[in-house]
């Protein structure tokens, strides 16, 4: 196929044998069903068109892998001979046959176009070329016969032009062939039409072209053309052009005397025809072929040396173009512009495209100026882009020949026009401006400045676009300096809006940066110096910084290399740009603050500083430029400059939140641009002095980056991956501020991140050697928390705390983060955060403990509120519901599911929609934030899988392992914390502050640590002591009645302690753990009831027991657990379903009374 490429990537042209096949295949009846010679002879006398040959020819021509027969007995020649016979029968016979018409209009032209113009022609051998010559001679006879009949066959004339074109591939390949001139002299009776050039002319012989031309003359073709030109009625311009064009393409081989003798009258007739074209004729779309006609006539006149007529033809071409241009019709004007552009291009294309004797440039220029071609053309159609593209070429050609008056006229063409027309006129002027002289440039700039003063912003955008186009189209750098100066002045006009200033400066920068003229290097330095001066004067600062950034960034246009870095470093040395920018930032900030105070306003990010830009944009532009200098110039930020920025935007009491945010982000992103000493100075002297209340997300990120970098440099931290650190030395620099920030920062999200950081450096990310003594490690952390807790408690005024608590609760999250909170509120927040920190520490550490708990947390010992779990199992495919309570362990849920499915609990894998719960067996349901009707997904395994390092069965079955597990459990932080009973007294003290958040945090912490042993020991009286009255012996154990009064009488205990005691009581009456002793439990229940325990429980539900000022959540929890206990004691039922209604208060009262 022709689309194949050879190894060099050039088209691989097949030989004729590949395209057409060997000549023998065309005479093989089996292959082509071609008739034998006697059938061809029979066809020669028939007037019917041979359909079999035609269909076969169509299939071979109209395909990608075409193959065209070239012998007289084959389909192409047979069809042409049949067409000749039909033409000879009279006008309309051939055209009347549908298949013959298709052959003449489509198949035959396609076949000959491929035979004489395709690149494959250059590789065919002589035999094939001779066959093509035979086909062309038959074609000449056919066309000659058809030209003698009306109407004029346009398609055949186009094909004649193709075959007679002396530059086609066929004639180029056979250019050395000669012809027998004497024979043609005899055949044509001395009236020879075509001759070979003389050897002295150095032209190719192209004898076969001469053969084809003379064959055409032999059959009367030339005479037919002549008669058609002179005698055809209503001859159309397109037809006249088609009659002349074939001869103009081979004029070098026409005998000059024959041409002058036979065609002089025809050429004069054609010239007259063009002169007599009416205005309506010039409006027609096909009028564009006037140029082709006159060029064809001119080439024939040159051949026969009629020089006088040649000049008149050139003038006629110009006059006709002017006539079309002056007609107010788009087709006429567009064809005229195309002709003008063709006239402009012909002198430069005369050598490459064979244009002979084109009209000279000087004559064209003189004609255009004299007839004001550009001005006339600008009279309309300026909204058409194609039309204006032609005008650009004309304007660029005229260049300096345009007068100032004409330039003014062109400028006025776009006044009060729509944006498209304005843009098109500006494009025309921009194209011409590159050729303007100094006077023209100055005049154009004057027109622009004059229009700028009264123009709207929209029109000013167009003017700046025009100036930019002029600068970019200036390939020699002639006008760039003036354009740059004009843009700079326009940007500095006080009345210019921000959009106009930015557009002018962007255009200014693009001309400077995108230009490769060495002349503009000095301009770059000049305008950089101007920007520096504007910054020093503290005027036009934002725009000047933006331009400096654009200019400096332009150094890196061609890639990052040492030379570019050197240029930025040189700029820093020359102007000390870092100091200049830092000082400018301080000045601008101070001016913004001063302006705000004069207006009695507070500085904000959207405050307009110079009539154009906001305060934040001004700050951001300063920081961006400094960051660019540091990064791209391979510079380090001096400590002094860093302090300047910090003191201006962060430490400054007049700085706004937006200032701090931008500064924090800038320091965070520029950490690598500071030396270690500078980093340490900033961290110790600036970062650690920031008030936590002003920290935002950006401030936290900055703090974290400095903290990690400084401790990495000091080898206290060790980096193991992109985001993971190992603590090698617990004495971390800045750890004290990390605690302070976590406790005092206002944003809860930031506090959460800081708490995570403290947990990481306190336990999670400690190196192995630092985790050897876990008990000491946990005690150190607990001591740290409680020492801070004591300090916060001292700062809180206990006497006013209860009354202040409701107010604090109401304000809650509605407190404006921009206002600094009161000291008391800060201390309340500190206490809450410390309790949360203790909770998180216990949770993080104890999550890694996979042994069943022998010292379980308090929350797992008593029943919570009922909750229903919806279980969906994959195998077996089943759905069911489990009745649980909020304090139930996940291990218990797993066991219930296993019992339901009749498999081992080790074969059950449970999860929720977003995670599996393989390592959460010791967690409670409420700790996983499960809701009622929570969906649980279950997967079962055929083999047992241990979801923990040691299973419950394995541990409980070995006393040695029990001891080992208990020893390991005693090292957990929750167990260590509960071992000291003072912690429970501290928690109660915190509850007395009266703040809801603190109370909630205390309750959450108590749930995580084992139950207070003192309470449990006191309740043992219901197991080990007989029912008896009070004893006077102080050494004897307390009686059950005294225990009930001491622990469950609201008059003796606080509501918080009462709730806790009720929870412990619930764990004894309704134990939730599997290892509880059923006999002891039954004994406890009986002794508790006999001691009057039910009455104590019912009393909790009395209205006056818990006054209304008691925390609502505490009262609700007390009532809920009291109801649960009453139900159990009265009905021996455990409340497991939320839909089950407990007994009413009236019922309970009556039962108690009885």
Per residue in 740-776, pLDDT tens?
999 999 999 999 999 999 999 999 999 999 989 999 9
Burial 55-79 (b: 16+ CB within 10 A, else e): ebbbebbeeeebbbbbbebbbbbbb
Model confidence at 1073: pLDDT above 50: yes
Among 135-144, 690-699, 809-818, 952-961, which stretch is predicted with the lowest mean pLDDT?
Answer: 809-818
Among 52-61, 435-444, 626-635, 1027-1036, which stretch is predicted with the lowest mean pLDDT?
Answer: 1027-1036
Task: Identify the pLDDT of residue 552.
Answer: 83
Q: Report the alpha-carbon angle 1001-707-748, nearest 5.
A: 30
Task: Identify the pLDDT of residue 981.
Answer: 81
The fraction of the chain above a pLDDT of 90, given in percent, is 47
Q: 46 or 940, which is more confident?
A: 940
Q: 834 or 446, which is more confident?
A: 834
Task: Identify the pLDDT of residue 519.
Answer: 63
Task: Identify the pLDDT of residue 652.
Answer: 94
- Residue 907 DSSP label: G
Model confidence at 722: pLDDT above 70: no
For 786-798, how does the pLDDT look when each residue is reduced to its tens digit (9 = 90+)?
999 999 988 885 4
Query: Among the ranges 721-735, 995-1009, 1066-1080, which has the highest mean pLDDT value?
Result: 995-1009
- Cα 1122 from Cα 1109, distance rounded (Å): 19
Among 338-342, 642-646, 722-726, 770-774, which stretch is predicted with the lowest mean pLDDT?
Answer: 722-726
Model confidence at 477: pLDDT above 70: no
Task: Identify the pLDDT of residue 626.
Answer: 94
Q: 843 or 564, which is more confident?
A: 843
Model confidence at 1072: pLDDT above 70: yes
Q: Report the alpha-carbon angle 10-16-17, nearest 5.
A: 115
**E strands present in 230-341:** none
Q: How many residues belong to the chain?
A: 1154
**E strands present in 94-161:** none
Model confidence at 227: pLDDT above 90: yes
Model confidence at 203: pLDDT above 80: no
Q: Strand 878-885 relative to strand 866-873: parallel, antiparallel, unpaired?
A: antiparallel
DSSP string, 792-839: HHHHS-TTTHHHHHHHHHHHGGGS-TTSPPPHHHHHHHHHHHHHHHHH
Q: 415 or 212, which is more confident?
A: 212
Task: Identify the pLDDT of residue 952.
Answer: 43
The average pLDDT across 239-265 equals 93
Q: How high does pLDDT run on average in the chain?
A: 84
Q: 723 or 105, which is more confident?
A: 105
Task: Identify the pLDDT of residue 14.
Answer: 39
The average pLDDT across 947-954 equals 44
Task: Count other C-beta atoms under 10 Å from residue 454's C-beta.
Answer: 7
Task: Identify the pLDDT of residue 301.
Answer: 92
Task: Identify the pLDDT of residue 136.
Answer: 97
- Cα 91 from Cα 148, distance rounded (Å): 9
Task: Identify the pLDDT of residue 406.
Answer: 83
Q: Which of 1053, 1024, 1049, 1060 is nearest to 1039 (CA)?
A: 1024
Task: Count other C-beta atoms under 10 Å from residue 749's C-beta.
Answer: 11
Model confidence at 326: pLDDT above 80: yes
- Split at pLDDT 50, 70, 90, the class of 817 is very low
Task: Identify the pLDDT of residue 65.
Answer: 92
Among 214-228, 342-356, 970-984, which stretch is predicted with the lowest mean pLDDT?
Answer: 342-356
- Split at pLDDT 50, 70, 90, the class of 317 is very high
Task: Identify the pLDDT of residue 26.
Answer: 31
Task: Identify the pLDDT of residue 476.
Answer: 60
- Please list, in sequence order, all residues whose beta carbon lies within 8 angstroms of the beta carbon of residue 274, skipping any fewer than 6 positions away: 237, 290, 293, 294, 316, 320
Burial 758-797 (b: 16+ CB within 10 A, else e): bbebbbbbbeeeeeeeeeebbeebbeebbebbeebbeebe
For 621-645, how does the pLDDT look when each residue is reduced to its tens digit (9 = 90+)?
999 999 999 988 888 999 999 999 9
Model confidence at 556: pLDDT above 60: no
- Split at pLDDT 50, 70, 90, the class of 122 is very high
Model confidence at 351: pLDDT above 60: no
Model confidence at 29: pLDDT above 60: no
Contact status, residue 540 vs residue 534, Cβ threshold 8 Å: yes
Long-range pairs, 751-754, Cβ under 8 A, ≥24? 751/833, 753/700, 753/704, 754/700
Among 15-29, 367-381, 431-445, which stretch is predicted with the lowest mean pLDDT?
Answer: 15-29
Give the helix/strand (H/E) hosting 139.
helix 126-147
- Residue 949 DSSP label: S
Q: 481 or 30, which is more confident?
A: 481
Q: Is the four-CA dihedral 1035, 1039, 1045, 1047 of positive or negative sign?
A: positive
Model confidence at 685: pLDDT above 90: yes
Three-state SS at 605 = coil
Task: Identify the pLDDT of residue 130.
Answer: 95
Model confidence at 258: pLDDT above 90: yes
Task: Identify the pLDDT of residue 407.
Answer: 87
Task: Identify the pLDDT of residue 653.
Answer: 93
Among 178-187, 231-240, 263-272, 1145-1154, which stretch is predicted with the lowest mean pLDDT?
Answer: 1145-1154
Task: Identify the pLDDT of residue 202.
Answer: 61
Query: Among the ranges 36-45, 453-462, 465-474, 1085-1094, which has the highest mean pLDDT value?
Result: 1085-1094
Task: Identify the pLDDT of residue 151.
Answer: 93
């Amino acid at each position: 196929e022709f689309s194949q490429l050879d190894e060099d990537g050039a088209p691989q042209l097949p030989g004729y044998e590949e395209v057409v096949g060997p000549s023998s295949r065309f005479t093989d009846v089996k292959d082509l069903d071609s008739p034998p010679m006697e059938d061809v002879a029979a066809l020669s006398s028939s007037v019917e068109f041979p359909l079999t040959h035609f269909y076969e020819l169509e299939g071979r021509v109209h395909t990608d892998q075409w193959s065209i027969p070239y012998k007289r007995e084959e389909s192409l020649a047979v069809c042409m001979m049949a067409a000749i016979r039909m033409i000879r029968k009279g006008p309309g016979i051939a055209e009347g046959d549908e298949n013959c018409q298709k052959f003449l209009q489509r198949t035959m032209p396609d076949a000959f176009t491929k035979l004489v113009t395709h690149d494959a022609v250059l590789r065919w051998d002589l035999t094939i070329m001779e066959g093509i010559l035979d086909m062309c001679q038959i074609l000449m006879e056919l066309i000659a016969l058809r030209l003698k009949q009306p109407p004029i066959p346009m398609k055949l004339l186009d094909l004649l032009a193709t075959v007679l074109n002396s530059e086609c591939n066929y004639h180029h390949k056979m250019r050395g062939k000669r012809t027998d001139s004497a024979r043609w002299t005899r055949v044509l009776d001395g009236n020879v039409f075509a001759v070979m050039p003389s050897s002295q002319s150095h032209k190719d012989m192209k004898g076969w072209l001469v053969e084809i031309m003379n064959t055409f003359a032999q059959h009367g073709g030339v005479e037919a053309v002549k008669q058609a030109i002179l005698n055809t009625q209503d001859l159309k311009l397109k037809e006249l052009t088609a009659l002349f064009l074939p001869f103009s393409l081979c004029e070098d081989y026409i005998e000059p005397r024959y041409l002058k003798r036979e065609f002089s009258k025809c050429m004069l007739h054609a010239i007259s025809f063009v002169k007599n074209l009416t205005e309506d004729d010039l409006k027609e779309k096909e009028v564009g072929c006037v140029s082709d006609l006159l060029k064809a006539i001119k080439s024939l006149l040159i051949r026969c040396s009629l020089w006088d007529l040649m000049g008149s033809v050139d003038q006629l071409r110009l006059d006709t173009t002017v006539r079309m241009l002056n007609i107010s019709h788009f087709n006429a004007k567009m064809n005229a512009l195309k002709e003008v552009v063709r006239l402009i291009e012909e002198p430069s294309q005369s050598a490459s495209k064979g244009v002979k004797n084109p009209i000279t440039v000087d004559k064209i220029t003189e004609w255009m100026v004299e007839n004001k071609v550009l001005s006339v053309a600008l009279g309309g159609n300026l909204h058409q882009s194609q039309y204006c593209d032609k005008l650009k070429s004309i304007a660029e050609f005229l260049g300096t020949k345009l007068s100032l008056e004409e330039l003014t006229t062109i400028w006025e063409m776009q006044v009060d026009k729509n944006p498209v027309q304005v843009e098109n006129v500006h494009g025309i002027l921009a194209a011409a401006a590159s050729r303007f002289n100094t006077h023209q440039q100055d005049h154009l700039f004057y027109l622009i400045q004059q229009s700028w003063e009264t123009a709207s912003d929209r029109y000013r955008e167009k003017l700046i676009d025009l100036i930019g186009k002029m600068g970019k189209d200036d390939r020699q750098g002639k006008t760039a300096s003036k354009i740059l100066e004009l843009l700079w002045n326009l940007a500095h006009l006080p009345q210019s809006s921000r959009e106009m200033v930015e557009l002018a400066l962007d255009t200014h920068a693009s001309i400077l940066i995108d230009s490769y003229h060495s002349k503009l290097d000095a301009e770059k330095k000049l305008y950089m110096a101007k920007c520096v001066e504007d910054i020093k004067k503290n005027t036009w600062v934002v725009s000047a910084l933006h331009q400096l950034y654009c200019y400096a960034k332009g150094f890196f246009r061609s890639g990052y290399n040492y030379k570019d870095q050197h240029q930025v470093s040189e700029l820093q040395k020359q102007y000390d740009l870092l100091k200049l920018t830092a000082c400018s930032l301080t000045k601008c900030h101070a001016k913004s603050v001063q302006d705000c105070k004069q207006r009695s306003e507070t500085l904000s990010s959207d405050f307009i500083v110079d009539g154009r830009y906001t305060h934040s944009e001004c700050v951001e532009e300063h920081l961006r430029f400094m960051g660019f200098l540091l990064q791209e110039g391979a510079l380090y930020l001096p400590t002094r400059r860093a302090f300047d920025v910090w003191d201006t935007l962060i430490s400054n009491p007049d700085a706004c939140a937006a200032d701090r945010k931008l500064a924090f982000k800038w320091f965070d992103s520029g950490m690598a641009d500071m030396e270690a000493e500078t980093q340490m100075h900033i961290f110790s002297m600036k970062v650690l002095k920031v008030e936590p209340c002003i920290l935002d997300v950006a401030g936290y990120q900055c703090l974290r980056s400095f903290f990690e970098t400084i401790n990495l440099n000091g080898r206290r931290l060790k980096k193991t991956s992109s985001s993971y650190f190992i603590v090698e030395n617990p004495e971390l620099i800045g750890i004290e501020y990390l605690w302070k920030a976590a406790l005092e920062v206002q944003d809860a999200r930031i506090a959460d991140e800081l708490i995570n950081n403290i947990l990481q450096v306190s336990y999670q990310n400690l190196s192995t050697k630092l985790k050897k003594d876990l008990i000491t490690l946990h005690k150190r952390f607990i001591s740290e928390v409680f020492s801070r807790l004591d300090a916060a408690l001292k700062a809180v005024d206990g006497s006013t705390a209860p009354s202040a608590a409701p107010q604090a609760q109401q304000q809650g999250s509605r407190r404006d983060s921009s206002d600094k909170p009161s000291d008391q509120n800060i201390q309340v927040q500190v206490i809450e955060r410390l309790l949360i920190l203790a909770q998180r520490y216990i949770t993080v550490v104890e999550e890694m403990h996979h042994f069943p708990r022998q010292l379980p947390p308090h929350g797992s010992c008593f029943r919570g509120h009922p909750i229903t779990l919806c279980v969906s199992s994959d195998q077996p495919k089943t759905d069911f519901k489990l009745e649980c309570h909020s304090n139930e362990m996940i291990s218990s849920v797993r066991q219930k599911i296993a019992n339901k499915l009749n498999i081992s609990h080790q074969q059950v894998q449970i999860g929720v929609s977003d995670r599996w719960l393989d390592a959460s067996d010791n967690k409670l349901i409420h700790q996983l934030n499960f809701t009622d009707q929570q969906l649980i997904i279950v997967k079962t395994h055929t083999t047992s899988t241990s979801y923990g390092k040691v299973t419950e069965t394995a541990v409980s079955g070995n006393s040695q392992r029990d001891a080992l597990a208990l020893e390991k459990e005693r090292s957990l932080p929750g167990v260590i914390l509960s071992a000291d009973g003072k912690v429970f007294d501290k928690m109660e003290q915190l509850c007395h502050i009266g703040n809801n958040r603190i109370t909630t945090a205390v309750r959450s912490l108590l749930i995580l640590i084992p139950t207070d042993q003192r309470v449990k020991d006191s309740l043992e009286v219901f197991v080990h002591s007989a029912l008896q009255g009070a004893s006077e012996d102080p050494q004897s154990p307390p009686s059950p009645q005294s225990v009930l009064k001491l622990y469950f009488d609201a008059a003796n205990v606080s509501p918080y302690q009462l709730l806790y005691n009720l929870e412990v009581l619930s764990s004894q009456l309704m134990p939730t753990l599997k290892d509880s002793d059923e006999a002891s439990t039954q004994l406890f229940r009986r002794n508790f009831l006999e001691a009057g325990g039910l009455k104590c429980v019912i009393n909790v539900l009395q209205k006056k027991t818990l006054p209304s000022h008691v925390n609502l959540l505490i009262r609700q929890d007390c009532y809920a657990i009291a109801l649960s206990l009453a139900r159990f004691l009265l009905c021996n039922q455990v409340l497991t379903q939320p839909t089950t209604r407990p007994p009413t208060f009236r019922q309970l009262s009556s039962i108690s009374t009885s």
